[in-house]
């Protein structure tokens, strides 16, 4: 039976204002049950205010073979980080 | 460090920096625990035992599925539901204990079979034992949660502020339990020939125990304004079950009544044969090692 249930990827938003974050995967017969299973498996400790489930087969992933052409070119462009500003002491959560 | 305060002690009272798993709250904090004037305290204790034992015993039954459910995800779902009910049981037994001068543990672990006040629906074997299967468990969960949800929604107006607060918290849990059962009832009923057959058989298994849920007990009759008269819930619960069964392509079983002993059933402490075995498993650790804690 478990081999026939499709795999779903689960994304949980922890608090209002934060992004949905990938937390893991699970098996479920359909999308509605996947949502409920995700609620039970991944939000038992009060982790979430919103859940997305996505069929694992619908995710297109970058290939490890393309790692260098994909990611290496940004490796020497430190000027793209906003680290050259002085951060005021009295601004929290920055 | 007590179990209840494990999270608090972990955080040292400050949880604002945690991205996940914050904001836990204590459902009954700030609720007035004084008994309302004029309430029959013995009847109130009995009533809390009734509702508490329903949750405690059904929780024990659901916990039996742990590691045995069809899927890991369902394993966790049933355990979650069991823990919700255990939480309700703890609050209700604690309230009863305030009248009786006993702790929740004494009431859960040191009472004998005849002192338990749960309905038979909570105690019968609907699987994973030989008395049923996953479909029968779902059938019981559907009936039990639909009934208890209707009951708790009225209990929010109880003259006892503690009962009202317990109902307020439990309502959201029970709404999820009912949803979970309804989702599965529709999928099994409207699934394959085999799943349909099993779901229908599960309904037939639990239906003789439905009538007891709506029978007004003298304790409930004595607690006007505090308790809910279960007879008043029948049409609402019937409507919910009808809607789910209809969506699932299932047939409502004929109304039959499980036999009573001299007119008595679970609310009077008269239980079915399986109850003794259930209690033996639930209580043996505490009775073997009195005062054992985790």
The string of DSSP codes covering B172-220 is HHHHHHHHHHHHHHHHHHTS-HHHHHHHHHHHHHHGGGTGGGGPPPHHH
Work out the mean pLDDT of chain B and round it to a whole number: 92
Contact (CB<8Å) A47/B183: no
pLDDT at A91 over 90: no
Task: List all residues 6 or more positions away from B45 whose beta carbon is below 8 Å from its beta carbon.
Answer: B95, B96, B99, B100
Which pair of tokens denotes residue B183? 């989702």
Residue A13 makes CB contacts below 8 A (sequence gap 6+) with: A19, A20, A21, A48, A49, A50, A51
Averaged pLDDT for residues B33-52:
96
What is the rounded CA–CA span in Å between residue B178 and residue B184?
10
> Number of Cβ pairs closer than 8 Å across A and B?
45
The residue among B142, B88, B138, B157 whose CA lies nearest residue B118 is: B88
Domain chopping of chain B, boundaries: 38-288
Interface of A with B in 54-93 (CB under 8 A): none
Per the domain annotation, does A24 fall within a domain?
A: yes
Residue A45 has pLDDT above 60, yes or no: yes
* Predicted local distance difference test score (pLDDT) of residue A2: 47
Q: What is the pLDDT of residues B187-202, one digit of tens each?
A: 999 999 999 999 999 9
Query: CB-side exposure of A27: number of CA atoms within 13 Å?
Result: 12
The residue with greater pLDDT, B9 or B100, is B100
What's the gap between Cα A76 and its chain centre? 26
User: B186 to each of B58, B143, B246, B282, how far by Cα in Å?
Assistant: 22, 14, 9, 32
Give the pLDDT of residue A76.
85
Number of domains in chain A: 1
- Distance (Å, rounded) from C-alpha B233 to C-alpha B255? 16
What tens digit of pLDDT does each residue of B217-226 get?
Answer: 999 999 999 9
Task: Categorize the per-residue pLDDT at B52 as very low, low, confident or very high, splitting at 50, 70 and 90.
Answer: very high
Residues in chain A closer than 8 A to B20 (CB atoms): 12, 14, 45-48
Measure A78 CA to nearest chain B CA, in Å.
Answer: 28
Instruction: Please give the Cα distance from B208 to B256 (Å, whole number).
Output: 5
Sheet containing strand A20-27, strands side by side: A20-27, A7-13, A50-55
B38-288: CATH, from 1.20.1260.10, 3.40.50.2300, 3.20.20.70, 3.40.50.2000: 1.20.1260.10
Within a domain: A66: no
Q: What is the pTM of this model?
A: 0.88
Q: Which domain holds residue A7?
A: 2-61
Phi and psi torsions of B209, nearest 5°: -100, 5
Q: How far is CA A56 from CA A11, A21, A51, A59, B189, in A?
A: 12, 15, 15, 6, 27
Q: What share of chain B is helix, strand, coil (3-state, %, to 5)?
A: 65, 0, 35
Q: Using the predicted structure, report yes or no on whether residue B2 has a pLDDT greater than 90.
A: no
Q: What is the pLDDT of residue B21?
A: 56
User: What is the pLDDT at residue A1?
Assistant: 47
Q: How far apart, in whole angstroms, are the C-alpha atoms of residue A46 and residue B25? A: 10
Confidence of residue B77 (pLDDT cuts 50, 70, 90): very high
pLDDT in tens, B131-157: 999 999 999 999 999 999 999 999 999
Say whether residue B195 is in contact with chain A using an 8 A CB cutoff. no
Touching check for B177 and chain A: CB below 8 Å? no
pLDDT in tens, B206-252: 999 999 999 999 999 999 999 999 999 999 999 999 999 999 999 99
Arithmetic mean of pLDDT, B22-47: 88
Beta bridge partners of B150: none
CATH number of the domain where residue A42 is located: 3.10.20.520
Is A27 inside a domain boundary?
A: yes
Residue A13: inside a domain = yes
Chain B residues touching residue A27 (CB < 8 angstroms) = 71-73
Nearest to B21 among A18, A27, A46 (CB): A46
Residue A76 lies in a domain: no
B19 contacts A14? CB cut-off 8 A: yes
- Measured between CA atoms, the residue of chain A closest to residue B20 is A47
How many angstroms separate the CA atoms of B247 and B33, rounded? 43
Question: What pLDDT is stored for residue B1 in this prediction?
Answer: 36
B20 CA: distance to closest CA in chain A (Å): 5
pLDDT above 90 as % of chain A: 51
Residues 6+ apart with CB under 8 A from B112: B279
CA distance B182 to B247: 9
End-to-end Cα distance, chain A: 48
Q: Note whether residue A82 is domain-resident.
A: no
Shortest Cα distance from B73 to chain A (angstroms)?
A: 6
Residue B7 has what pLDDT? 52
């Amino acid at each position: 039976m478990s081999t026939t249930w499709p795999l779903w990827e689960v994304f949980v938003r922890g608090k209002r204002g934060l992004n949905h974050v990938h937390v893991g995967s699970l098996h479920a017969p359909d999308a509605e049950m996947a949502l409920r299973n995700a609620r039970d498996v991944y939000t038992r400790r009060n982790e979430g205010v919103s859940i997305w489930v996505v069929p694992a087969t619908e995710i297109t992933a970058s290939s490890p073979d393309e790692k260098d052409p994909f990611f290496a070119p940004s490796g020497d462009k430190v000027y793209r980080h906003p680290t050259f500003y002085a951060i005021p002491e009295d601004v929290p959560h920055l | 460090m007590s179990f209840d305060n494990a999270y608090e002690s972990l955080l040292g009272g400050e949880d604002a920096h945690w991205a996940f798993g914050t904001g836990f709250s204590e459902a009954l904090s700030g609720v007035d625990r004084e008994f309302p004037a004029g309430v029959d305290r013995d009847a109130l204790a009995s009533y809390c035992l009734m509702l508490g034992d329903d949750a405690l015993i059904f929780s024990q039954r659901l916990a039996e599925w742990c590691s045995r459910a069809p899927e890991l995800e369902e394993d966790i779902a049933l355990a979650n539901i069991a823990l919700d009910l255990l939480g309700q049981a703890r609050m209700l037994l604690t309230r009863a204990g305030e009248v009786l001068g006993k702790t929740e543990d004494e009431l859960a672990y040191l009472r004998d079979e005849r002192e338990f006040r749960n309905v038979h629906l909570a105690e019968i074997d609907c699987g994973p034992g030989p008395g049923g299967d996953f479909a029968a468990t779902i059938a019981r969960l559907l009936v039990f949660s639909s009934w208890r949800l209707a009951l708790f929604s009225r209990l929010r107006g109880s003259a006892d502020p503690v009962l009202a607060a317990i109902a307020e918290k439990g309502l959201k849990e029970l709404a999820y339990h009912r949803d979970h059962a309804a989702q599965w009832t529709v999928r099994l009923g409207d699934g394959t020939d085999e799943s349909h057959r099993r779901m229908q058989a599960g309904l037939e298994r639990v239906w003789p125990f439905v009538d007891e849920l709506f029978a007004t007990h003298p304790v409930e009759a004595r607690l006007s304004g505090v308790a809910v008269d279960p007879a008043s819930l029948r049409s609402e619960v019937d409507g919910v079950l009808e809607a789910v069964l209809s969506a699932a392509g299932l047939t409502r079983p004929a109304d039959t009544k499980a036999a009573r002993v001299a007119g008595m059933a679970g609310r009077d402490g008269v239980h079915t044969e399986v109850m003794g075995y259930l209690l033996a498993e639930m209580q043996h650790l505490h009775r073997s090692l009195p005062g054992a804690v985790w």
